[in-house]
Amino acid sequence: MKFKILCSDLDGTLLSTKSDVSSFTIQEIERLRHQLRIILVSARMPSGMFYLQENLSITHEPIICYNGALILANNNVLHSTTIPATLVKEIYDLCKIRNTTLGIYSHDNWYVQNMSKRVEKEIKHTKVYPTIAPTENTLVTIKDSGAHKVMLMSNPLDADILMEILTKKYSGLIHSYRSNDTLIEISPKKVSKITAIKLLLQPDESLVDVIAFGDNYNDIEMISNAGTGVAVGNARAELKEIANFVCALNTDDGVAHFIKEHL
């Protein structure tokens, strides 16, 4: 297979653990990085991606953060789309009566109202620490900038209810998807991983030249529109159905094995 660009999701895909790439993955990326562009594409914030770029020796490449809402190259902003603070406030008001707290992300800042097991887990996995502040204060802080991503941290029942409300009331303004039964991730409607990849295509490149790897709902557009889409073995069933290939589990270095066998 011949490609010009390799795009990969991180959590559940390229990462063999919750926070790191394996030595085998580093080896295979090292072999490829002079032959094609390798772009990390994630729902993570920049600081949760920089250390992985360094481990893979691809800091010269751009990164796609927040599911496409923010694109950086050498820490310079190439593209930015945010959710207006007024809309974040509406979502917050819905969450207050549903025993749900917000994680608000703006550029490379992460704000939470208090520490929790969920926040501690995020710190462990991404190696990034949040700013602890009342959500009302954070809404003032992001009044002009808006949010690149909002994470709703809830319980299964309230997450079900909130997901239904968000889909019915705000589907024209935001993307909402379930990370798991207690988490809902929200990003601006106008962007996705594939819109961000399109923005990074050079004049002699097209989506046909892209091979993409993913595992979750937010990877569906990327996998279905790339020249070749590969789902890891642990991916959602919906993603496997539309992928060109299904490789091994992320915990078994599925992406690295696929690269070794096919690229």
pLDDT at residue number 137 = 97
180 in helix, strand or coil?
coil
Q: If pLDDT is split at 50, 70 and 90, which confidence band does 18 have?
A: confident
Higher pLDDT, 180 or 27: 27
Distance CA 209, CA 199 (A): 14
Q: Name the average pLDDT for the chain.
A: 96
Yes or no: say if 4 and 205 are a contact pair by the CB < 8 Å rule: yes
Q: Name the class of domain 5-80+191-262.
A: alpha beta
All CATH 3.30.1240.10 domain ranges in the chain, comma separated: 85-188
Q: How far apart are the first and last CA of the chain?
A: 6
Question: Taking the CB of residue 13, how many other CB atoms lie within 10 A of it?
Answer: 25
Distance CA 151, CA 129 (A): 15
Q: Which of 222, 208, 218 is nearest to 7 (CA)?
A: 222
pLDDT at residue number 1 = 77
What is the topology classification, in CATH, of domain 85-188?
3.30.1240
- Containing 243, the helix (H) or strand (E) segment is none
**70-108: per-residue pLDDT in tens?**
999 998 999 999 999 999 999 999 999 999 999 999 999
List Cα–Cα distances, 248 to 39, 192, 210, 261, in angstroms.
21, 25, 20, 12
The identity of residue 241, as a single letter, is E
Q: What is the mean pLDDT of residues 196-201?
A: 98
pLDDT at residue number 158 = 96
All CATH 3.40.50.1000 domain ranges in the chain, comma separated: 5-80+191-262
The residue with tokens 């991730």 is 185
**114-166: per-residue pLDDT in tens?**
999 989 999 999 999 999 999 999 999 999 999 999 999 999 999 999 999 99
